């Protein structure tokens, strides 16, 4: 065994031991931190209710209840606080060691703690804003909301957890690698930003849609059976207060997250090519598109129902109008903004292999969703048309055919443009006889999409035609219950024909991809991709080693300075 091999084994063993140590320290620190914060939450509630008595909570009127309300969280706090402080003090000492401040487990702990404290502070801020709007709008508060101690507790929680959030954010700054983290350390940060951004965006969009819902309710109130005044005392004041609070909190968190991420991308342009950043934008785009297209389908279905006499004006619930009318403009604005942001960042920062994979995953996943809606809509519409042509205007149930038409038309109106736009965009790239086309044809998302649709189509054709042939044979053999010319046979033929059409389209795409395969070019592309991946891995490893080497040099210089000072002191002592 050579000296180099022994050194490598020793380094690997040291790294494993360091990982086990970090796992223990940060896991215990996180558990004790959460336990301590939960205990502090309950203790503050109990002390404030005792300090500001209001008589609304009968459980605190008895001495035993007071003792239990204080003793239980107090006991948890007394035990968990020392455990956290002891481990945290040891963690702070270990951070001085080379590479410790950049460890992935440390980042995971900090971002988990930051997410917890930020959530509690945002939740408390939401309740403060909601209660303030209720007072301003004159809503009649409930007994729980009338407690002055409840307000004080919310301010306590917001302030304490905001301070803790700022503390953990400062720790990330002190680590010295914010925005340039390597490996999983950077992934944890991007995952944290992505989740916070999506949650805040969802809160903002739902809150804004609810506010518009109340506006439309006020405008359409004369046409509804129930008015805002008769729904309930303070109902609309409470509802709009919560919606406005959601808008303000969601907008604040979403804006801060975007500003923070944009600042990182400006300082470090490679951040704009990262897969999790693109995944965040594409998921937000899909969310906004769903909030836009679902209301369109709802309104279109309602319009077709009304046109074909499936519903009367007096039978329309006001919520059937106000809900989609509230969602539609909010979703459309968010959809446009995020799509422009995706295009702008792709043009400004370019694409990496991972971001290209995310882009393909988005296109084919959305295309599959649109195809499913189009598929179901075509079956409903064709079935309704055939029923009308064969059976005529007679229907088993009043409004049955109107519901068929409305369902089919609304699903086609949403599914057809979604599928065609995303499918044609991906197909144009795949039909190119260049490097981009070869990469598109060889990508996993495209293959899973094509072969998945082909498989589902073939299975549907097999199953539906088998059922039709089964009924045909029964009819030919003289079975009186065969019902070959009934509705079930018609449904099976419609489903089989629709499946065959989409199966043929995707089978032709598979055939075209196979014909355009150039084995030499594919092999060269794979080799080039392997070299590029190896080059990126080597560059990341070199950067990591250089960082560790700089830390080791700094530590060595510090030790030499200490030795020099010690030698100088010894010389002075000898001279004296």
Q: Are 46 and 69 in contact (CB under 8 A)?
A: yes
Tokens of 567: 């030698």
CA distance readout (Å), 38 to 156, 299, 469 = 13, 46, 65
Return d(Cα 137, Cα 60) in angstroms, integer: 31
**Any idea what DSSP says for residue 518?**
-
Residue 10: CB atoms within 10 Å: 10
Tokens of 4: 């180099």
pLDDT in tens, 308-335: 765 555 556 677 788 888 889 999 999 9
Vertex 228, ends 226 and 233: CA angle to 5°?
A: 110
Return d(Cα 443, Cα 437) in angstroms, integer: 10
Return d(Cα 442, Cα 432) in angstroms, integer: 13
Return d(Cα 114, Cα 257) in angstroms, integer: 13
**Any idea what DSSP says for residue 223?**
G
Return d(Cα 570, Cα 576) in angstroms, integer: 10
Identify which of 431-440, 450-459, 515-524, 528-537 has the greatest average pLDDT. 450-459
pTM for this prediction: 0.78
Q: Determine which of 29-38, 304-313, 520-529 has the lowest per-residue pLDDT on average.
A: 520-529
Give me the chain's average pLDDT, please. Answer: 79
> 317, 287, 288: which is closest to 302 by C-alpha?
317
pLDDT in tens, 66-118: 677 677 777 878 888 889 899 888 888 888 877 788 888 889 999 999 999 99
Return d(Cα 207, Cα 205) in angstroms, integer: 5
Chain centroid offset of residue 194 CA: 7
- Average pLDDT, stretch 153-165? 86
* Domain map (residue ranges) of the chain: 17-95+103-176, 351-517
- Rounded to 10 deg, the angle between the 104-137 and 184-220 helix axes is 20
Return d(Cα 226, Cα 222) in angstroms, integer: 9
Percent of the chain with pLDDT over 70: 76
Q: Are 413 and 300 in contact (CB under 8 A)?
A: yes
Return d(Cα 106, Cα 502) in angstroms, integer: 50
Tokens of 440: 């598109």
Q: Are 217 and 211 in contact (CB under 8 A)?
A: no
Sequence-distant (≥ 6) Cβ neighbours of residue 281 within 8 angstroms: 338, 341, 342, 345
Is a pLDDT exceeding 50 seen at residue 360? yes
Tokens of 348: 């400004």
Q: What is the DSSP string of 454-468?
A: HHHHHHHHHHHHHHH
Tokens of 535: 């080059």
- Rounded to 10 deg, the angle between the 435-442 and 400-430 helix axes is 130
Tokens of 361: 């995953």
- Average pLDDT, stretch 60-65? 52
Q: Burial, 447: exposed, middle or buried (Cβ in 10 Å; 0-12, 13-18, 19+)?
A: middle
**Any idea what DSSP says for residue 449?**
H
Q: Are 264 and 193 in contact (CB under 8 A)?
A: no
pLDDT in tens, 220-270: 776 554 444 444 445 677 778 888 999 999 999 999 999 988 888 888 888
Q: Burial, 153: exposed, middle or buried (Cβ in 10 Å; 0-12, 13-18, 19+)?
A: buried
Q: How confident is the model at residue 5 (pLDDT cuts 50, 70, 90)?
A: very low
pLDDT for residue 520: 60
Return d(Cα 72, Cα 548) in angstroms, integer: 46
pLDDT for residue 192: 93
pLDDT for residue 333: 94
- pLDDT: is 384 or 566 the higher one? 384
In this structure, the chain runs to a length of 576
Q: Burial, 139: exposed, middle or buried (Cβ in 10 Å; 0-12, 13-18, 19+)?
A: buried
pLDDT in tens, 369-410: 999 999 988 888 888 787 776 665 554 555 666 777 888 888
Give the dihedral sign, CA 388/391/394/395: negative
- Average pLDDT, stretch 30-42? 87
């Amino acid at each position: 065994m050579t000296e180099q091999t022994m050194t490598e084994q020793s380094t690997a063993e040291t790294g494993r031991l360091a990982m086990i140590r970090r796992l223990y320290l940060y896991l215990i620190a996180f558990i004790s931190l959460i336990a301590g914060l939960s205990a502090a939450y309950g203790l503050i509630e109990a002390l404030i209710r005792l300090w500001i008595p209001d008589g609304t909570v009968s459980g605190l009127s008895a001495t035993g209840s007071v003792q239990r309300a204080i003793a239980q969280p107090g006991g948890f706090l007394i035990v968990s606080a020392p455990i956290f402080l002891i481990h945290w003090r040891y963690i702070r000492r270990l951070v001085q060691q080379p590479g410790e401040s950049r460890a992935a487990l440390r980042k995971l702990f900090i971002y988990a703690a930051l997410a917890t404290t930020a959530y509690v502070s945002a939740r408390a801020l939401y309740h403060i804003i909601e209660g303030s709007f209720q007072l301003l709008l004159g809503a009649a508060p409930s007994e729980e909301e009338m407690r002055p101690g409840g307000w004080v507790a919310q301010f306590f929680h917001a302030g304490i957890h905001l301070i803790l959030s700022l503390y953990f954010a400062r720790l990330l700054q002190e680590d010295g690698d914010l925005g340039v983290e390597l490996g999983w350390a950077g992934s944890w940060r991007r995952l944290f930003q992505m989740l916070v951004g999506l949650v805040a965006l969802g809160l903002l969009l739902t809150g804004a849609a609810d506010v518009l819902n109340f506006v439309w309710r006020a405008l359409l109130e004369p046409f509804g059976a129930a008015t805002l005044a008769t729904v309930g005392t303070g109902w609309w004041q409470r509802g709009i207060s919560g919606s406005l609070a959601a808008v303000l909190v969601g907008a604040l968190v979403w804006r801060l997250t975007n500003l923070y991420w944009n600042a990182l991308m400006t300082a470090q342009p490679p951040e704009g090519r990262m897969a999790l950043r693109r995944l965040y934008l594409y998921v937000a785009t899909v969310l906004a598109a769903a909030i836009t297209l679902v209301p369109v389908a709802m309104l279109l279905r309602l319009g077709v129902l009304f046109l074909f006499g499936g519903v009367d004006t007096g039978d329309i619930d006001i919520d059937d109008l106000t809900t989609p009318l509230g969602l539609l403009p909010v979703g459309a604005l968010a959809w446009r903004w995020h799509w422009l942001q995706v295009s702008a960042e792709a043009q400004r920062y370019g694409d990496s292999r991972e971001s290209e994979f995310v882009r393909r995953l988005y296109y084919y996943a959305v295309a599959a969703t649109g195809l499913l809606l189009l598929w179901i809509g075509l079956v409903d519409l064709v079935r309704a048309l055939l029923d009308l042509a064969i059976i005529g205007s007679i229907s088993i149930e009043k409004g049955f055919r109107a519901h068929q038409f409305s369902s089919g038309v609304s699903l086609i109106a949403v599914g057809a443009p979604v599928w065609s736009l995303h499918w044609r965009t991906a197909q144009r790239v795949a039909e190119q006889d260049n490097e981009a086309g070869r990469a598109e044809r060889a990508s996993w998302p495209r293959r899973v999409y094509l072969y998945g649709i082909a498989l589902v189509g073939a299975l549907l054709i097999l199953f539906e035609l088998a059922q039709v042939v089964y009924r045909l044979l029964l009819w030919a053999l003289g079975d009186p219950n065969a019902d070959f010319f009934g509705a079930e046979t018609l449904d099976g033929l419609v489903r089989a024909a629709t499946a065959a059409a989409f199966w043929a389209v995707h089978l032709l795409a598979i055939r075209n991809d196979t014909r355009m395969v150039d084995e030499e070019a594919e092999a060269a592309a794979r080799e080039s991709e392997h070299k590029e991946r190896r080059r990126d891995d080597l560059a990341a490893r070199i950067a990591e080693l250089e960082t560790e080497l700089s830390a080791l040099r700094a530590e060595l210089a510090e030790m030499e300075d200490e030795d020099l000072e010690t030698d100088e002191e010894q010389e002075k002592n000898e001279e004296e």
